[in-house]
Structure 1
Amino acid sequence: MSRKVRADIHLDAIVHNYRLARAQAPGASAVAVVKANAYGHGAVPVARALAAEADAFGVACIEEALELRAAGLAQPVVLLEGFFDADELPVIARQGFWPAVHSEHQLSWLEQADLPAAIPVWLKVDTGMHRLGFDPEAVPAVVERLRACAAVSEVLLMTHFACSDEPEKGMTEHQLARISTLVEALETGASMSNSAAVMAWPAAHYQWLRPGIMLYGATPFEHADPVAEGLQAAMTLSSEIIAVREVPAGESVGYGATFSSEHPVRVGTVAMGYGDGYSRHARTGTPVLVDGQRTRLVGRVSMDMLTVDLTDLPHAGVGSRVELWGRQLPVSEVARWCDTIPYTLLTCLTPRVPRSYE
């Protein structure tokens, strides 16, 4: 391999982070969320690393679940968006998948289904996110229908928090109160804790946690959090310097001539760009590490390359290793410079970047 772009996936870190999630609620089970190719880390290798630990896996759709089964993973798999067609239901029953049910049409399909085995259902309650789910007022009647349905073996309530990473907004308390009232009245189990709630909302833990971004070592919070301090980065994205230029004062670097300096600048060109999934929105000043020393991105990111400031790194040159994020540089910090969140940086990494598993 000549182009030195790579993503090193630290599977030991993912196992550590899963255990950290479980430790926040020792009495609860935890769904390891591996949707979207395990947030860009590789669903099958990640699931295999967690096979001895995970109580269940979480994916968005049946195609992602079948990939895990084909790889030999035997744990229950929660279909977080449920099923998109009635024809999926026999497969779900045979494979031991646990679907979310969020809409009347799904409920009707279940009631009409003749399945080889009854399946557990995770009933989605819309407590304020307003994407998917039944209104809380409708839930008692829906639960009654599901409990009377021959295709259903068990009903668990689930919801998703809109602002669990922003406690100052008060939204989580509102959502938690709405679903807790239903759980108590209907005597069901519940799952409502995404990563932020796992880390900071113990009242929301209930029977099933759903850690996602925290498995991959990134914090969902903009503020400091004691649990986040224990996370370990699961991916190190790196490349190398492929050229060095001495740029005179007043000259610009990159597309749009967005960067120029009043002083001469030594600029290194790195084999990494938005064609690899590194964000084009990364601004001048975005931190990078060159041979383990911190410096900054200068100019615009292009499809295959970006440029970094080597002025204060006289020993850096062609072949120097560049860490774009990883164990020494949190992806959450890079995300702030890109005006985005770590989820997008990790999931947008393209297949052109080879993954190496440790």
Structure 2
Amino acid sequence: MARPLRADIDLDALRHNYRLARELAPHSQAVAVLKADAYGHGLIACARALEGLAPAFAVACIEEAEALREGGITAPVVLLEGIFEASELERVEALGLWVAVHSDWQLDALLARRPARPTPVWLKVDSGMHRLGFPPERAEAAWRRLSEAPECVTDLHLMSHFATADAVDSAYFHRQSALLAELAERLGAPTCLANSPATLARAEAHGAWNRPGVMLYGSDPLEAANAASRRLRQVMTLHSEIIAVRDLEAGEPVGYGGRWTAPRPSRVGVVACGYGDGYDRHAVDGTPVLVDGRRAAIAGKVSMDMLIVDLTELPEADIGSEVVLWGRASNGEVLSVDEVARHCDTISYTLLTGVLPRVPRRYHGG
């Protein structure tokens, strides 16, 4: 019998979330962001599930783009960080990729080549994230250089990234948004600005293209959920089972360091899942799980291959009982990956992308 841990991937939910992104911005196109192995869900499987719906995909680097091409994906692919060295431009042309340009050396390298066909370019502006992009005062000159080289560049767009589109306090978002709106108007530039939170909650940021990312996988990126984000459907369910049960007296410790001690005569179950599978070791006592579709809580530190849950209030739970670490249980109950992330003092992105290759993925709705 195989170890019971697996990640079930609901491709129908993935498509539902993509359609929601399109519905929220009917005048925009939506590039589906598939970086980091589709946020841990499987790059090729997710791309194939969205083929025919998404007009383009986005990844972080050329290696991810090559994997898509090798997997038979022919749709346009955007390199969100652009090239990392000038020699990659030959591969960009061969693979038919679109590139972000965020720095002078990338711009110079692009304009120094005479490709067989021009490259679609998204010029990245640093509107306040202070990560990648041309400062606003230099963006116009970069735009002019690119727009005046039609033999090298085509389909030029203005791109930026919001630092606080997810936040309840919208002051900084509006500062970035106003700067970008003025720049785009001055240049007559089509834009790609909206990430997942802006797609869900900031209609004024919707442009020619939007970039839904984590929302595609059912995670709500907003500080305060809205009507749109509540419609997201979680794509990954991380399943396992109880593999052992222990009865403890009050005061007995559990796990490394004895962090959790039984507050009363207790019954605990051992689950086949640990940080060696990608489950976050920082999960605190009380982090929720679903056991046979009912809520229970982690007791003690997560080990490499196992974790322990308190079954005292679940007398029917036993060896073989279903455990959902996040996602949808067999009885339909859902445990949000966002809720689990809060107990780990992190965000859903780290949990989803952290599920390691030794955890088999099972795809449904393909």
Report the TM-score when normalising by structure 1: 0.99
Partner of 1:133: 133
Deviations 1:104-144 (A, max 9, x none): 11011011112121011100000000110000010111011
Q: Does the 8 Å contact 1:158/1:191 carry over to 2?
A: yes
Does 2:103 align with 1:103?
yes
Distance 2:195 2:140 in 1: 24
Deviations 1:73-98 (A, max 9, x none): 11110100000111111221232211
By how many angstroms is 1:57 displaced?
0.3
The residue that corresponds to 1:306 in the other structure is: 307
Task: Identify unmatched segments of 5+ residues in structure 1.
Answer: none
Give the counterpart letter for 1:199 in structure 2.
L
Residue of structure 1 in register with 2:331 after alignment:
none
Alpha-carbon contact 1:60-1:80 (below 8 Å) kept: yes
1:239–1:322 CA contact under 8 A, matched in 2 = yes
SS of the aligned residue for 2:169 comes to helix
CA offset at residue 169 of structure 1?
4.8
Tell me the distance in 2 between the aligned counterparts of 1:262 and 1:27. 57
Q: Secondary structure at the match of 2:335?
A: coil
Task: Assess if the C-alpha contact under 8 Å between 1:89 and 1:115 holds in 2.
Answer: no
Determine the C-alpha separation between the residues in 2 that align with 1:168 and 1:354.
40
Q: Percent identity?
A: 55
Structure 2 counterpart of 1:196: 197
**Partner in structure 2 of residue 329 of structure 1:** 335
**CA separation in 1, counterparts of 2:170 and 2:212?**
22
Which position in structure 2 is the counterpart of 1:344?
350
215-224 or 230-239, which moves further after superposition?
215-224
- In structure 2, what residue type is equivalent to 1:233? Q
What CA RMSD, in Å, does the superposition of the two structures yield over aligned residues?
0.9
Using the TM superposition, give the Cα deviation of residue 204 of structure 1 relative to its aligned residue in structure 2, in angstroms. 0.1
Measure the CA separation in 2 of the matches of 1:95 and 1:254.
51
1:222 deviation in Å? 3.0
The question of 1:48 aligning with 2:48 is answered: yes
CA displacement 1:261-319 (0-9 Å, x = unmatched): 23011000000000000000111101101111111111010110000011011111111
Counterpart position of 1:179: 180
Structure 1 counterpart of 2:29, one-letter code: S
- Please state how far the C-alpha of 1:348 moved relative to its aligned partner: 0.6
Separation (CA, whole Å) in 1 of partners of 2:43 and 2:172:
32
Given that 1:90 and 1:116 are in contact with CA atoms closer than 8 Å, whether structure 2 keeps it comes out as no
- CA shift for structure 1 position 52: 1.2
Q: Deviations over 1:28-48 (max 9, x none)?
A: 100000000000000100000
Q: Residue 352 of structure 2: SS of its match in structure 1?
A: helix
In the alignment, is the contact (CA less than 8 A) between 1:129 and 1:162 conserved in 2? yes
Q: 2:168, 2:223 within 8 Å by CA — same for their partners in 1?
A: no
Structure 2 counterpart of 1:338, one-letter code: C
Q: Could you tell me which residue of structure 2 aligns to residue 353 of structure 1?
A: 359
**Preserved contact between residue 168 and residue 224 of structure 2 (Cα < 8 Å):** no
* Number of the residue aligned with 1:205: 206
Whether contact under 8 Å (2:199, 2:206) holds in the other structure is yes
Question: What is the aligned partner in structure 1 of residue 35 from structure 2?
Answer: 35
Unaligned runs of 5+ in 2: 329-333
Residue 341 of structure 1, CA deviation? 0.5
CA distance in 2, matches of 1:330, 1:153: 42
Question: Separation in 1 of the partners of 2:266 and 2:301?
Answer: 16
2:10 aligned residue:
10
Deviations 1:53-83 (A, max 9, x none): 0011010001101111111111110100000
Matches within 5 A, 1:248-263: 248-263=249-264
- Please give the alpha-carbon distance, in whole angstroms, between the structure 1 residues aligned to 2:109 and 2:227: 45
Matched, 1:226 2:232: no
SS in 2 for 1:242: strand
1:223 CA drift (Å): 1.7
Deviating more after overlay: 217-226 vs 103-112: 217-226
SS in structure 1 of the partner of residue 207 of structure 2: coil
**Partner Cα separation in structure 1 for residue 35 and residue 187 of structure 2:** 30
Q: Secondary structure at the match of 2:7?
A: strand
Within 5 A, what are the aligned runs for 1:60-139?
Answer: 60-139=60-139
Aligned-residue offset at 1:340: 0.6
Is the contact made by 2:288 and 2:340 (CA closer than 8 Å) also made in structure 1? yes
Q: 3-state SS of the aligned residue for 1:167?
A: coil
Q: Could you tell me whether the CA contact under 8 Å between 2:102 and 2:124 is conserved in 1? A: yes
Residue type at the aligned position of 2:261: S
Match of 1:295 in 2: 296
- Cα shift readout 1:304-349 (whole Å, capped 9, x = no counterpart): 0000011011111111110000021110011111111001000011
- Report the count of equivalent residues: 358
**Which residue of structure 1 lines up, in the alignment, with residue 22 of structure 2?**
22
